[in-house]
A = this chain, B = another copy of it.
Amino acid sequence: MRYGHFDDAAREYVIDTPATPLPWINYLGNESFFSLISNTGGGYSFYKDAKLRRITRYRYNGVPFDNGARSYYVTLMNGDGPDAKPIETFSPTFLPAKTPLDRYECRHGIGYTVFEAQKSGIATRLTAFVPLGANAEVNRLDITNVNGAPKTVDVTGCVEWCLWNAVDDASNFQRNLSTGEVEVERLEDATILYHKTEFKERRNHYAFYGVNAPVVGFDTSRDEFLGQFNGWDTPQVIAEGKAHDSVAHGWYPIAANRVRVTVDPGETKTLVFTLGYIEVPDDQKWEDPTDPAKVGIINKKPAHELFSRFNSAAEVDKALSELKDYWNGLLSTYSVSSGDARLDRMVNIWHQYQCMVTFNMSRSASYYESGMGRGMGFRDSNQDLLGFVHLVPERARERIIDIASTQMEDGSAWHQYQPLTKKGNADIGGGFNDDPLWLIAGVNAYLAETGDASILTEPVPFNNVEGSEVPLLEHLRRSANFTMSHLGPHRLPLIGRADWNDCLNLNCFSSTPGESFQTVENNDTGVAESVFIGGMFVLYGGQYADILAHYGEACGMSADAVADEVATVRGAIDDMTEAVKTAGWDGEWFVRAYDAYSRPVGSHTDTEGQIYIEPQGMCVMAGIGLDDGKAQEALKSVREKLTCEWGTAILAPAYSTYRIELGEISSYPRGYKENGGIFCHNNPWISIANAVAGNDEEAFAVYRRNCPAWLEDKSEIRKVEPYVYCQMVAGPESPTPGEGKNSWLTGTAAWTFVDVSQYLLGVRPTLDGLAIEPHLPAEYTDLTVTRVYRGVTYTIKLERTGSRSLTVNGSPVEGNVVPVPADGSTSVDVVVTF
């Protein structure tokens, strides 16, 4: 069942009903100010860090769910006087008022969302977005009178303030209920309500919510606004038809502006509500620090400046248009015309958009990630890069430097770091032994995309310690050496606290309820090994050797030193390949790991957890077993033992009991999350592995099983948004197979984009240039990929002929790499037959 449709021309998903199986959300903002917005107007806003600079409050456990974020109430009044009474109220976003609408439509676009609603002759259109270069969410509301008589309409816009720190805001009530402070500013042509809690003390930032019109009333006290016992659906002031002009002192500060408009038949009136975040230098915090009567009155100048940028419909139009242009530019970097709308809309629009969002958010703020906890992941962010680097390479470069700066001198890494401070997160610590290798993956992707070798000589510190800077290339060396110097009894890499699968905790035995498996003592005894990291080393160690070979001399190494080190690394790769093929091979698939007792994990010798997906994907992607049939055998086992209509499960059979020696993985109910769920992140590894192994049909089938656009018709089962990937789909052994969870913020986005863009459509940046080698199923015969790469626009025709060839600007070329145009031309025509 569908709840909407794709509007590919507008690059929008159009939702027809508020009653989607779950809130279907969108993200606003690209740089510092971000908002989540659901198809009923729910969500919240923050500046850079969803924990430390939360601007508006959200209730993840709220009942009713998803209310109170940006609440708009459109009230038809029975007159224009001070005693006018309300006739009927609805919300342009359906919630919170819940009034059944005559018309409802929510259009999630790329960086903006539009709600169209109609009730009793009043039509509304609410456009929400974060303009480029502005720390503000703009909400433009158009109100149109679509029937025969003039109407007086009161429009109330309301946001609820979070007291900045989202964790404290939800826990430290004995303090919080006494700290809230606001200011009210009624200007001739605008009204601005300020939230200045803790500005008095250590904060240099405040927020505001204004409207470009005088108000008939306002409220800043939630209790006054809602009244007792009421929810956001029926606030007391809405029922009464009159604001209370309340000024909050502590308790729950909000900002509610009530504007009255009279709309003639056919006429449209426009209001612009702006939610803004302001930082001021310490010496400019106050309006007039010398005047005792003005103690505590904030300096509003910067707020006025920001507010005035969007105080007319024309200015808002212009800002939205700039935002769309910006995205048009980004999305032109990679596009396909395949004849299949599902493929095109995912590749050209939604998938790349999701890659940007995951790059921005890491795993911090979604409808499943509360934004209260973890920061950026070392592993996550490196992988997020893979799907993002082509969009804005400069930001990827900056991120790489940030990530590498949290690496330790021995090559290990903090597992997470805080986006605001960029420092390693000591609560989580390190010891995740896959982390270092992901840095190579990220840097390799950046180099392949840009050819910008200057990044390799960029001085980057260890653990953010000033003075410890070494060239980035040295960080990669430490990464590779870390694996090479941490091998276990089978010459496989030690797993440490965990590898990519954070829930396979082979050294972290926990028997205390509720204890975090990620922070419990790591009893690493030097025995537990990861076949998965073995595969990673073959793949990313190889990338490191390639980087050395390409750029080592340019980085100041002698030719001999390069040759020596490349030989050493390649020797280690050969040894690792051998170890994986022997100790790492179970007979029909790759073993997952060895536990702290040196027993195999992911082996037919066990009754449960016999086969895991990760080593099959990673080892075959690395090329292990392509030469001796093991790759094909492993992929066959994946198809037969792990795959169902909803995708490929992470393991089977799921664990029915808790195994202390395996950790969190066995803590989940069967079929969910890491215990037998379809953990989508690793499904593209299987797709890529099949492509690498030449199984093109299966490669695409794996892609399709997980691809949102193909699952749109099953939205009542999948539940999550049909335009984005989710982290996990309940597996075949669960009671609810196909049910998706944790949409948006998942490495699935980046990895599946690598899969579809570089392996299935086969347009892959390499250190040598753009390689083209499609792996597509029979039904795809003629496609065009447009790729802007290192400043050159490649128009690439893919034609199914049954034999492989490459023609560049009409001339045949050997191999699959398109040479960089020698004549400096900025567009190249490529034809690839396959």
B-side contacts of A230, CB under 8 Å: 64
Could you tell me if A200 and B658 are in contact, using CB atoms closer than 8 angstroms? Answer: yes
A736 to B224, CA, bound (A): 15
B-side contacts of A95, CB under 8 Å: 229
Which of B63, B198, B673 sits near A67, CB closer than 8 Å?
A: B63
- 9-residue interface stretch from A304-312, A548-556, A662-670: A662-670
Chain B's nearest CB lies how many Å from the CB of A3?
Answer: 12
SS class of chain A's interface: helix, strand, loop or mixed?
loop
Does A81 belong to the interface (CB within 8 Å)?
Answer: no
Instruction: Kindly name the residue among A52, A511, A514, A656 whose own CB sees the greatest number of chain B CB atoms within 10 A.
Output: A514
Given A170-B170, A656-B295, also A232-B63 (CB < 8 A): yes
Does A231 belong to the interface (CB within 8 Å)?
Answer: yes
Which of B167, B173, B657 sits near A60, CB closer than 8 Å?
A: B173
B-side contacts of A68, CB under 8 Å: 63
Does A803 belong to the interface (CB within 8 Å)?
Answer: no
Among A156-194, those with CB < 8 Å from B are: 164-165, 167-175, 177-179, 181
Does A741 belong to the interface (CB within 8 Å)?
Answer: yes
Which of B204, B250, B372 sits near A672, CB closer than 8 Å?
A: B250
Which of B57, B372, B658 sits near A61, CB closer than 8 Å?
A: B57
Does A804 belong to the interface (CB within 8 Å)?
Answer: no
- 9-residue interface stretch from A147-155, A727-735, A753-761, A778-786: A727-735
A613 to B433, CA, bound (A): 57
Which of B19, B168, B370, B669 sits near A179, CB closer than 8 Å?
A: B669
Does A369 belong to the interface (CB within 8 Å)?
Answer: yes
Which of B226, B229, B511, B514 sits near A52, CB closer than 8 Å?
A: B514
A contact residues, total (Cβ < 8 Å): 81
Which of B179, B656, B667 sits near A198, CB closer than 8 Å?
A: B667
Could you tell me if A372 and B171 are in contact, using CB atoms closer than 8 angstroms? Answer: yes
Does A62 belong to the interface (CB within 8 Å)?
Answer: yes
Could you tell me if A200 and B667 are in contact, using CB atoms closer than 8 angstroms? Answer: yes
Convert A503-539 into 0s and 1s, putting 1 for each residue whose CB lies closer than 8 angstroms to a CB of B: 0000000111111000000000000000000000000
Instruction: Kindly name the residue among A229, A230, A736 whose own CB sees the greatest number of chain B CB atoms within 10 A.
Output: A229
Could you tell me if A250 and B178 are in contact, using CB atoms closer than 8 angstroms? Answer: no
B-side contacts of A515, CB under 8 Å: 202
Chain B's nearest CB lies how many Å from the CB of A607?
Answer: 10
Does A296 belong to the interface (CB within 8 Å)?
Answer: yes
Copies in the complex: 2
A175 to B673, CA, bound (A): 8
Does A373 belong to the interface (CB within 8 Å)?
Answer: yes
Given A62-B59, A173-B60, A658-B200, also A736-B511 (CB < 8 A): no
Does A98 belong to the interface (CB within 8 Å)?
Answer: yes
A174 to B364, CA, bound (A): 11
A510 to B98, CA, bound (A): 45
Could you tell me if A61 and B170 are in contact, using CB atoms closer than 8 angstroms? Answer: yes
Which of B179, B370, B734 sits near A668, CB closer than 8 Å?
A: B179
A515 to B741, CA, bound (A): 34
Which of B64, B232, B514 sits near A164, CB closer than 8 Å?
A: B514
Chain B's nearest CB lies how many Å from the CB of A44?
Answer: 12
Could you tell me if B373 and A178 are in contact, using CB atoms closer than 8 angstroms? Answer: no
Given A63-B226, A295-B657, A513-B164, also A666-B178 (CB < 8 A): no
Could you tell me if A668 and B178 are in contact, using CB atoms closer than 8 angstroms? Answer: yes
A203 to B514, CA, bound (A): 8
Does A742 belong to the interface (CB within 8 Å)?
Answer: yes
Instruction: Kindly name the residue among A63, A98, A372 whose own CB sees the greatest number of chain B CB atoms within 10 A.
Output: A63
Which residue of B is nearest A736, CB measured?
B249
Which of B60, B247, B511, B512 sits near A170, CB closer than 8 Å?
A: B60
Which residue of B is nearest A728, CB measured?
B178
Could you tell me if B173 and A368 are in contact, using CB atoms closer than 8 angstroms? Answer: yes
B-side contacts of A560, CB under 8 Å: none
Chain B's nearest CB lies how many Å from the CB of A669?
Answer: 6
B-side contacts of A666, CB under 8 Å: 201
Chain B's nearest CB lies how many Å from the CB of A59?
Answer: 6
Could you tell me if B250 and A669 are in contact, using CB atoms closer than 8 angstroms? Answer: yes
Does A228 belong to the interface (CB within 8 Å)?
Answer: yes
B-side contacts of A368, CB under 8 Å: 173-174, 177
Chain B's nearest CB lies how many Å from the CB of A416?
Answer: 14
Which of B249, B656, B668 sits near A669, CB closer than 8 Å?
A: B249
A445 to B63, CA, bound (A): 47
B-side contacts of A369, CB under 8 Å: 173-174
Could you tell me if B59 and A669 are in contact, using CB atoms closer than 8 angstroms? Answer: no
A738 to B232, CA, bound (A): 29
Chain B's nearest CB lies how many Å from the CB of A748?
Answer: 13
Could you tell me if A61 and B59 are in contact, using CB atoms closer than 8 angstroms? Answer: yes
Convert A705-748 into 0s and 1s, putting 1 for each residue whose CB lies closer than 8 angstroms to a CB of B: 00000000000000000000001100000111000011000000
Which of B172, B512, B673 sits near A370, CB closer than 8 Å?
A: B172
Could you tell me if A178 and B673 are in contact, using CB atoms closer than 8 angstroms? Answer: yes
Given A171-B372, A735-B249, A736-B249, also A669-B60 (CB < 8 A): no
A467 to B154, CA, bound (A): 73
Given A296-B656, A656-B296, A673-B178, also A173-B370 (CB < 8 A): yes
B-side contacts of A64, CB under 8 Å: 226, 229-231
Which of B63, B164, B167, B367 sits near A59, CB closer than 8 Å?
A: B63
Which residue of B is nearest A162, CB measured?
B61
B-side contacts of A372, CB under 8 Å: 171
A52 to B512, CA, bound (A): 11
B-side contacts of A736, CB under 8 Å: 249-250
B-side contacts of A728, CB under 8 Å: 178
Could you tell me if A373 and B172 are in contact, using CB atoms closer than 8 angstroms? Answer: yes
B-side contacts of A179, CB under 8 Å: 667-669, 672
Which of B61, B203, B657 sits near A513, CB closer than 8 Å?
A: B203
A238 to B680, CA, bound (A): 38
Chain B's nearest CB lies how many Å from the CB of A529?
Answer: 24
A95 to B231, CA, bound (A): 13
Convert A343-372 into 0s and 1s, putting 1 for each residue whose CB lies closer than 8 angstroms to a CB of B: 000000000000000000001000111101
B-side contacts of A59, CB under 8 Å: 59, 61-63
Which residue of B is nearest A369, CB measured?
B174
Could you tell me if B202 and A514 are in contact, using CB atoms closer than 8 angstroms? Answer: yes
Which of B62, B168, B232, B511 sits near A202, CB closer than 8 Å?
A: B511
Given A200-B667, A736-B249, also A672-B178 (CB < 8 A): yes
Chain B's nearest CB lies how many Å from the CB of A199?
Answer: 9
B-side contacts of A367, CB under 8 Å: 173
Given A173-B369, A181-B669, A669-B250, also A63-B60 (CB < 8 A): no
For the complex of A and B, the 4 pairs showing the least CB-CB separation, nearest first, are: A201-B658, A178-B672, A201-B667, A165-B514
Q: A60-B171, A64-B231, A231-B233 are in contact. List 20 more A-B contacts (CB 8 A).
A: A19-B229, A57-B61, A61-B252, A62-B62, A95-B229, A164-B514, A171-B373, A172-B370, A173-B370, A177-B742, A178-B728, A179-B667, A201-B513, A201-B666, A202-B667, A205-B513, A249-B669, A249-B672, A249-B735, A250-B736
6 contacts between A and B (CB under 8 A): A59-B62, A63-B68, A171-B373, A174-B363, A174-B741, A178-B672
